[in-house]
Structure 1
Amino acid sequence: MSRQSTAEKKIAKFDPIYHNRVVNMVVNRILKHGKKSLAYRILYQSLTKIQQKTEKNPLIVLRQAIHKVTPKLIVKSRRVSGSTYQVPMEIRSKKGKVLAIRWLLGSSRKRSGRNMHFKLSYELMDAAREKGNAIRKKEETHRMAESNKAFAHYR
Structure 2
Amino acid sequence: MSRPGTAEEKTAKSDPIYRNRLVNILVNRILKHGKKSLAYQILYRAMKKIQQKTETNPLSVLRQVIRGVTPDIAVKASV
TM-score (norm 1): 0.46
Indicate the residue corresponding to 1:66 in structure 2: 66
Q: Are positions 1:20 and 2:20 aligned together?
A: yes
Deviation, 1:31, is: 0.1
Q: Which position in structure 2 is the counterpart of 1:149?
A: none
**Of Structure 1 and Structure 2, which has the larger fraction of its residues in strand?**
1
Runs of 4+ in 1 over 6 A off after TM superposition: none
Percent identity over paired residues: 66
Structure having the higher helix fraction is 1
Aligned partners of 1:75 and 1:21: how far apart in 2? 26
- The Cα offsets for residues 107-130 of structure 1, whole Å up to 9 and x where unpaired, read as xxxxxxxxxxxxxxxxxxxxxxxx
Higher relative contact order (CA 8 A, sep 6+): 1
Shift of residue 42, structure 1, vs aligned partner:
0.4
Structure 1 unmatched runs, 5+: 80-155
Deviation at 1:70, TM superposition (A): 1.9
| Count of residue correspondences | 77
CA RMSD of aligned residues (A): 1.8
